[in-house]
Copies of this chain bind each other. A is one copy, B any other.
Amino acid sequence: MIEMNKIVKIGIIGLGQIGIYLYNELNIKKKEIEKKTGKRIKIVAISAKNKNKKRRFKFSKKIFYKNPLQIFKNENIDILFECVGLSDGISKKVVETALKNKINVITPNKALIAKHGDYLAKLAEKNNVCLEFEASVAGGIPIVRTIKEGLATNKINKVYGILNGTTNYILSEMENNNESFKRVLQKAQKLGYAEPGNPKLDLNGFDAFAKIRILSSLSFNTKISKANCIMEGIENIKLEDIKIASQLGLRVKLLGISEIINNQLFETVHPCLVSKKTYIGNVNGVMNAVITEGKPVGESILQGEGAGPGPTSSSLLSDLFSILRGNIKYPFGIESVKRKKITIFNKNNYKNSLYLRFIVKDKQGVLSSITNRLAKYKISVKRIIQTPDKANKEATIIIITHKTSEINANKCLSIFKNNNNTLKFLTLIRLYN
């Protein structure tokens, strides 16, 4: 616990978009922080790869360290912000070193927590300091604190939502402006929503998956799972599918879902078709939303801006407040030794209705050859829409199936993929619920 009346010394590692914004906020809000927590803070050390890069705000070069590990030798810091963002490497090294030196750590780094959270939490507990990561999930939405504290006594059995602002923005823009994935991605990169260099981790679902892993372990009081689940991104979503879905009253959303099914854990990230009438179907643009289902509280929804330095910094500061005001808390809400391992639900048994899109030669018998094959794998059809394209002697066939298991769907559809040229199988999107 941080003593009264002493100046709380702070270090920031990483001065990218988030780090530099945080640096500026801490300086601006010093007075307010003192007013609200009774503690005075001072940034005594900062570190980044490149001292001279152009940044949004100025910083004091006097407290700059080229090597972040040097900080632990020279300064007696109380709280360290890790804003580098790697899942391993220097991110892990500085957090580890800080905790071992009994320094509280605050980080927005979901990749690090999703990969090493169990180990780091234990380390924090052993050294009797805090490891806080509110900003690692859903930017400005205080979902970590809400699950750990606000919903602490509920039995949560499901947590899901839109956890990646970039992909949600892309899907919304494609629908609203009738633009292709590629074109909207370029726009997103220009606006700073998607990484200019490598947007892959957003687009392929990795980012959302790291967040869902953190949410699972908080919600179910379990260790972070390492299981290989279904992780699909939005790279294969075509404008055509979005338009057809819209006609059917549906919308494509990249959902992260974590659920306890028969006492087993199921975690997944994949594009879903959701009804436009549902709540989640109306969370558009860069917004994030997390829905928890628990007892006795029922369904709780938290929505807010999911990305960007403003919302992220809001969460980083809420962690700072928590440390300044309170005493030591367990990083995952309960003691590490009490967080249990959980069996993993077999993903082959995951059941969904499916949306399938084929392009076929427009001739007799094609439709029945598709439906026969589906029937063979016990996939029953709920709805078929066939649209001829006379000019090209082709037709588009859309099939919505009743619920079927992943394993059946995979077996059946792999055959379509490798089929003779009477058919081209294009898209599979799971329906949500």
Contact with A151, one of B154, B279, B314, B338 (Cβ below 8 angstroms): B314
- The 0/1 profile, CB within 8 Å of B marked 1, for residues 285-304 of chain A is 00001000011111111111
**Bound complex: CA A140 to CA B300 (Å):** 8
Contact with A296, one of B1, B141, B150, B314 (Cβ below 8 angstroms): B314
Stretch in A28-36, A363-371, A411-419 with 4+ CB within 8 Å of B: A28-36
Would you call A142 and B153 a contact (CB within 8 A)? no
A256-292 contacts to B, CB under 8 A, are: 279, 282, 289
Query: Within 8 Å of chain B (Cβ to Cβ): is A61?
Result: no
Q: Which of A33, A150, A282 has the most CB of B within 10 A?
A: A150
Which chain B positions have C-beta within 8 A of A300? 140-141, 302-305
Which chain B positions have C-beta within 8 A of A329? 325-326
**Bound complex: CA A300 to CA B103 (Å):** 31
Would you call A297 and B301 a contact (CB within 8 A)? no
Chain A interface bracket (under 10, 10 to 19, 20 to 34, 35 or more): 35 or more
Would you call A314 and B154 a contact (CB within 8 A)? yes
Stretch in A84-92, A94-102, A180-188, A316-324 with 4+ CB within 8 Å of B: A316-324
**Bound complex: CA A299 to CA B304 (Å):** 6
Given the interface contacts A301-B302, A311-B296, A327-B327, does A318 sit within 8 Å of B36 by beta carbon? no
Task: Report the minimum CB–CB distance from A8 to chain B (whole Å).
Answer: 15
Query: Within 8 Å of chain B (Cβ to Cβ): is A134?
Result: yes
Task: Report the minimum CB–CB distance from A323 to chain B (whole Å).
Answer: 11
Q: Which of A152, A301, A304 has the most CB of B within 10 A?
A: A152
Query: Within 8 Å of chain B (Cβ to Cβ): is A25?
Result: yes
Query: Within 8 Å of chain B (Cβ to Cβ): is A146?
Result: yes
Task: Report the minimum CB–CB distance from A412 to chain B (whole Å).
Answer: 37
Would you call B301 and A304 a contact (CB within 8 A)? yes
Which chain B positions have C-beta within 8 A of A299? 304-305
Interchain residue pairs with CB less than 8 A apart (30)? A1-B327, A25-B153, A35-B334, A36-B338, A140-B296, A140-B297, A140-B300, A141-B300, A142-B150, A149-B149, A150-B315, A150-B318, A152-B318, A152-B321, A153-B317, A153-B318, A153-B320, A154-B314, A279-B282, A296-B310, A296-B311, A296-B313, A297-B305, A297-B314, A298-B310, A298-B311, A300-B303, A301-B302, A326-B327, A326-B329
Give chain A's interface residues, CB within 8 Å of chain B: 1, 25, 29, 32-33, 35-36, 38, 134, 140-142, 145-146, 149-154, 279, 282, 289, 294-305, 309-311, 313-315, 317-318, 320-322, 325-327, 329, 333-335, 338
